[in-house]
Structure 1
């Protein structure tokens, strides 16, 4: 009556361990892919925010006494490139009758600023447009 009982050994088989490691590797791969995408988005957002600050600064600098024409330059040792185009603003819906041209009247100028970084693709560019009032110069006075 004294039968020998054999207990099955407790533990995992080699197949179960390999499957567990495969699932763990897949999960870590997905997690690292997500983190690298998030890092890239944070970097792009930082670059765009910095470009917007540069654009605001450039408009403040050149918008005081705008002169028609184009200007361009670089910021941060060439990391950001900018171009400012200043042109007279044309009313898209002109008034009826002959145009009145007063050389001593103030006029509106359209400022178009573009700041690029990296390759300058659509995701690496900030464009800002603004209108500024240009007062006529007094006789004998030029820009400061």
Structure 2
């Protein structure tokens, strides 16, 4: 039997195999980079959601015995995560002295000293 194929047409060449491996490795690398970015985004979204829940809870506690509406700085204890800090300072008072407006600054972050996940500034009214 005589084969009609020449040597250059028989099977894959080394160059074709190398090109296939390069394309495959680039595809796998792109997939893992996309997966990494996606998982980091999902973790960040979960952290943001947790920060919003903590901030909502803190806003509801302002004016109670836990967080009295008076000038001062209130912080999470060392064991609490996410870390939070609430700073309350006088903003304005009515001339009769019976109504006081306070600036409330709240920060929620992963841990003490890290980049904040959430910053909120709001005003609270106290009437005596």
TM-score tier by shorter-chain length is: 0.7 to 0.9
Task: Give unpaired runs (5+ residues) of structure 2.
Answer: none
- Match of 1:6? 3
Match of 1:115 among 95, 98, 108: 108
Residue 70 (structure 1) shift: 1.2
- Match of 2:83? 81
Instruction: State the distance in 1 between where 2:13 and 2:25 align.
Output: 19
Task: Give unpaired runs (5+ residues) of structure 1.
Answer: 92-99, 137-144
CA-based RMSD: 2.3
4+ residue segments displaced more than 3 Å? none
Structure number with larger C-alpha Rg: 1
TM-score, structure 1 as length reference: 0.72
- SS of residue matched to 2:87: strand
State yes or no: 1:16 paired with 2:16.
Answer: yes
- Within a 5 Å distance, the mapping from 1:59-98 to structure 2 comes to 59-64=59-64, 65-74=68-77, 77-90=79-92
Match of 1:130 among 110, 122, 125: 122
Higher relative contact order (CA 8 A, sep 6+): 1
- SS of residue matched to 1:6: coil
Instruction: State the distance in 2 between where 1:11 and 1:132 align.
Output: 79
Q: How many residues align?
A: 121
Residue 40 (structure 1) shift: 0.6
Residue 11 (structure 1) shift: 2.5
Match of 2:96 among 95, 102, 113: 102
- SS of residue matched to 2:30: helix
